[in-house]
Amino acid sequence: MACIILEVIIIILFGTLVQYDDETDAKLWHQEIANGSSNYDNDFYYRYPSFQDVHVMIFIGFGFLMTFLQRYGFSSVGFNFLIAAFALQWATLMQGFVHGMHGGKIHVGIESMINADFCTGSVLISFGAVLGKTSPVQLLVMSVIEVTLFAVNEFIVLSVLGAKDAGGSMTIHTFGAYFGLMVARVLYRPNLDKSKHKNCSVYHSDLFAMIGTIYLWMFWPSFNSAVTAHGDDQHRTAMNTYYSLAACTLATYGLSAVVAHDGKLDMVHIQNAALAGGVAVGTAGEMMLTPFGSMIVGFLAGTVSVLGFKFLSPILEEKLKIQDTCGVHNLHGMPGVLGAIVGAVTAALATKDVYGDGLVCLFLTSWESVPSAGFMAISLAVTLGIALLGGLITGFILKLPIYGAPPDTICFEDGIYWELPGEEGSHEELTTVRTPDEAEKLNA
């Protein structure tokens, strides 16, 4: 029911506020054609393949990455689907508001579609932190707030401070991770170990999760390059990301075996840490980072991420009371911050000698004033501030006992929100874990 109300609101807002842009409107585009453009110049042909790769990352990548839990596959893929479909619409509105209207209207086209998917990605990162412990209504409420704050932060970082962050190390990953971690902190469940036996994987659920991992890994070059400038920028960003990921993967496998007691590989590391290289070149990827630099960054990101899973996550849970289901701090949080730092340093080192005429194009500025490391540092601080404060407030809103959150004993369990099929050859009775008033809340 919440879905329907939200959708009706969105549809009304779209009706009042949203318009085709120059490249999707029949009349306006044909005016451009009359002025000498070719249909082949339509940005559709230079952005749409990247958009579809990003789309796959959002819906398949994030969705299946979270299916590793043994009895939470329906919710992982299904709520991911729901939240993403909602957030991309809401993001179109919020980003349109904040980034500038055209005569009172929001203009939409392929770039707005990519940006909406990016914002959605941030929400899904936060979802990873609270996975298994929240109801769909809570997730929708979180999305409403997070998307709004995302748009505000993105505006401050990119437009006010003039930072560069094409792949969103700061705006997407750092923001989404720390927002989600703060929500998880506020929603801390001291008795979560009652559901502990369900907070783990089974053999096939880990294979489903690998589908998510591999798609995220493959298409991350498209993610980081999706909205960079055309030409060398987009080409270079994709390639830097590709090298960073490759180096990160080797570091992850190596370290995963080293930190284990018995030299065995841990699926959690492979599924997550191997991706940290993509996060960590989100800011610097479009710069002249070189393949060499990209690989060092990727290698560091993988290292930080595996060590985080092994040593930091238990501390976060025990000392800071942050129950981070998917370990988003290790995949998005620390690598995101690393990416912001790398971006600041790389930008500070940019010279006319290395970039040639590309300097102006990339930094949209004369070469004397590339964004200083200082501005990038301020951007990172702003991002962290808004994320943590926003997450704090959101956490308290979600704590209100009106959203049908699952009790401690039946977290990480699909049965509470989904009609489950019987199991072929199953030996445990599928206890349907719903009480009447929980059901009512779901319908709220």
| Residues of this chain, 107-146, that bind its own copies according to CB under 8 A | 108-110, 113, 136
| Token pair for 70 | 């043994």
Q: Where are the beta strands (DSSP E) in 105-216?
A: 106-108
**Residue 86 interacts with its own copies (CB under 8 A)?**
yes
The nearest distance, CB 387 to its own copies, in angstroms, is: 25
Q: Which one of 162, 189, 254, 345 is in contact with its own copies (CB under 8 A)?
A: 254
What are the residue ranges of helices labelled H in 18-72?
26-34, 44-56, 63-65
Torsion sign across C-alpha atoms 137, 19, 42, 150: negative
d(CA 152, CA 135): 26
**Residue 410 interacts with its own copies (CB under 8 A)?**
no
Nearest to 169 by CA among 273, 283, 54, 288: 283
Return the bridge partners of 19, or none: 107
**Residue 162 interacts with its own copies (CB under 8 A)?**
no
d(CA 347, CA 430): 56
> Which one, 205 or 379, has the nearer CB to its own copies?
205
Binding-residue total with its own copies (CB under 8 A): 144
**Residue 407 interacts with its own copies (CB under 8 A)?**
no
Nearest to 119 by CA among 101, 100, 145, 138: 145
Q: Which one of 103, 318, 401, 419 is in contact with its own copies (CB under 8 A)?
A: 419
Q: What is the identity of the amino acid at 17?
A: L
The nearest distance, CB 225 to its own copies, in angstroms, is: 8
The nearest distance, CB 335 to its own copies, in angstroms, is: 17
> Which one, 99 or 378, has the nearer CB to its own copies?
99
**Residue 402 interacts with its own copies (CB under 8 A)?**
no
| Token pair for 374 | 């200082």
> In the stretch 301-340, what mask flags binding to its own copies with x, by CB under 8 A?
----------------------------------------
| Token pair for 233 | 């920028």
d(CA 95, CA 112): 8
**Residue 431 interacts with its own copies (CB under 8 A)?**
no
DSSP secondary structure of 340-365:
HHHHHHHHHT--HHHHTTHHHHHHTS
d(CA 286, CA 436): 53
**Residue 155 interacts with its own copies (CB under 8 A)?**
no
DSSP state of 362: H
> Which one, 108 or 184, has the nearer CB to its own copies?
108
**Residue 158 interacts with its own copies (CB under 8 A)?**
no
Query: Which 224-253 positions form the footprint of its own copies (CB under 8 A)?
Result: 229-236, 238-239, 242-243, 245-247, 249-251, 253
Query: Which 191-210 positions form the footprint of its own copies (CB under 8 A)?
Result: 200-208, 210
d(CA 30, CA 26): 6
Q: Which one of 361, 388, 393, 397 is in contact with its own copies (CB under 8 A)?
A: 361
**Residue 97 interacts with its own copies (CB under 8 A)?**
no
Query: Which 59-78 positions form the footprint of its own copies (CB under 8 A)?
Result: 59-60, 63-64, 67, 70-71, 73-74, 77-78
> Which one, 193 or 440, has the nearer CB to its own copies?
440
Nearest to 87 by CA among 51, 123, 130, 48: 123
**Residue 23 interacts with its own copies (CB under 8 A)?**
yes
DSSP secondary structure of 164-176:
--TT-IIIIIIHH
Q: Which one of 211, 377, 388, 393 is in contact with its own copies (CB under 8 A)?
A: 211
**Residue 366 interacts with its own copies (CB under 8 A)?**
no
Residue with tokens 């589908």: 211
Q: Which one of 36, 104, 425, 431 is in contact with its own copies (CB under 8 A)?
A: 425
Q: Which one of 35, 40, 103, 401 is in contact with its own copies (CB under 8 A)?
A: 40
Query: Which 264-293 positions form the footprint of its own copies (CB under 8 A)?
Result: 264-267, 270, 274, 288, 290-292
By the 8 A CB rule, do 283 and 242 touch? no
Cα-trace Rg, the chain: 22
> Which one, 136 or 371, has the nearer CB to its own copies?
136
| Token pair for 104 | 């009172």
Q: Segment near its own copies (CB under 8 A), from 94-102, 143-151, 176-184, 350-358?
A: 350-358
The nearest distance, CB 30 to its own copies, in angstroms, is: 4
The nearest distance, CB 327 to its own copies, in angstroms, is: 15
| Token pair for 422 | 């019987």
| Token pair for 103 | 């005569």
By the 8 A CB rule, do 275 and 128 touch? no
Q: What is the identity of the amino acid at 323?
A: Q
